[in-house]
Amino acid sequence: MTFFFEVLISGLLVGVMYSLVAMGFALIYKASGVFNFAQGDMSLLAGLALVGFLTVMPLWLALLCTFAVMTILAYGTVFIIFRPLVARPPLILFMAAIGLSFLIQGIGQAIWGTDAKGLNIGIPEISFEISGIYLNTFDLTFGGVATALVAGLVWFFQKTRTGRALRAVADDHEAALSVGIPLLRAWAVTWVIAGIVATVAGVAWGSRLGVQFSLSLIALKALPVLILGGIDSILGAILAGLLIGASENLAEVFIGPYVGGGIQTFFPYLVALIVLWFKPYGMFGKEIIERV
């Protein structure tokens, strides 16, 4: 039983990671209808930038500079790439996002090189044991930061004027514009938030596995999470991320041996497929309120 919990918890911690990436997707999709294929690359860019800045400055300043990079990226993306594409079909926006994905990878490589780098932001990694289950301080710290981030975002969206405006934009672009909400600026703010989320994900992942270009591939792992949770639901992204993280780990350990192992890589997609059959909008996808 202890073993079960250990597998579960390590799965959940990976799940937090998926949650963060999927949340970035959901935020941008909700606000602007762009399926942001570059979400993983944003994590990569944040990781690379932080590693780069850390070589010449203290941590707090490096984090600030990384944040600045993500903000510039957000505004640049919205005002340069997406402004001319306002009111274009979703497929065109998606293609633009794929382009952006490669652009970010290219720029990252050009500035910081292609080799994998270690990232150490000084969070201690001390293992300890609670009733037979091993935990470590790094994972717990990261879990705490992610939880705080989510709580902060919920507060921001529900209670502030800008948050309300962003929710309005997510519901109806044109109506939001008609009441005087500047659409492009609202989108840029959303991209900044997605950038912050990507930074947290990038730093956490990078500290554990090193900052390398495979980091951008976590975007692909976010896809089944989005399908399970519903592509435009923040809550769905969080819960589904945890669920996918935990279930893929459990499946690997408990079912894997019977089928020769290695099911972790495709198990989430299998779940996604089954979800698509029965709940095409996911667990929490925006119910389309239809008046009858």
Partner 1 sequence: MEQASLLKVNNIEVIYEHVILVLKGVSLEVPHGSIVSLLGANGAGKTTTLKAISNLVKAERGEVTKGTVEFEGKRIDKMYAPQVVKLGVIQIMEGRRTFEHLTVEDDLLTGAYTRGHDYKGIKEALKMVYDYFPRLVDRRTAKTGYISGGEMQMCAIGRALMAKPKLMLLDEPSMGLAPLLVEEIFEIIVRLNKEENVAMLLAEQNAAMALQYAHYGYIMENGRVVLDGDSETLKDNADVREFYLGLTEIGKKSYRDVKHYKRRKRWLA
Q: Which residues bind partner 1 (CB under 8 A)?
A: 86-87, 161, 164-165, 167-168, 170-183, 286, 289, 291
Compare residues 46 and 165 and give the one whose CB is closer to partner 1: 165
Give min distance, CB of 173 to partner 1, in A.
Answer: 7
Compare residues 56 and 289 and give the one whose CB is closer to partner 1: 289
Compare residues 135 and 184 and give the one whose CB is closer to partner 1: 184
Give min distance, CB of 174 to partner 1, in A.
Answer: 6
Give min distance, CB of 124 to partner 1, in A.
Answer: 42
Convert the chain into a string of H (helix), E (strand) and C (coil).
CHHHHHHHHHHHHHHHHHHHHHHHHHHHHHHHCCCCCCHHHHHHHHHHHHHHHHCCCCHHHHHHHHHHHHHHHHHHHHHHHHHHHCCCCHHHHHHHHHHHHHHHHHHHHHHHCCCCECCCCCCCCCEEEECCEEEEHHHHHHHHHHHHHHHHHHHHHHHCHHHHHHHHHHHCHHHHHHCCCCHHHHHHHHHHHHHHHHHHHHHHHHHHHCECHHHHHHHHHHHHHHHHHCCCCHHHHHHHHHHHHHHHHHHHHHHHHHHCCCCCCCHHHHHHHHHHHHCCCCCCCCCCCCCC
Give min distance, CB of 160 to partner 1, in A.
Answer: 11
Give min distance, CB of 3 to partner 1, in A.
Answer: 43
Compare residues 23 and 146 and give the one whose CB is closer to partner 1: 23
Give min distance, CB of 87 to partner 1, in A.
Answer: 5
Compare residues 20 and 27 and give the one whose CB is closer to partner 1: 27
Compare residues 104 and 170 and give the one whose CB is closer to partner 1: 170
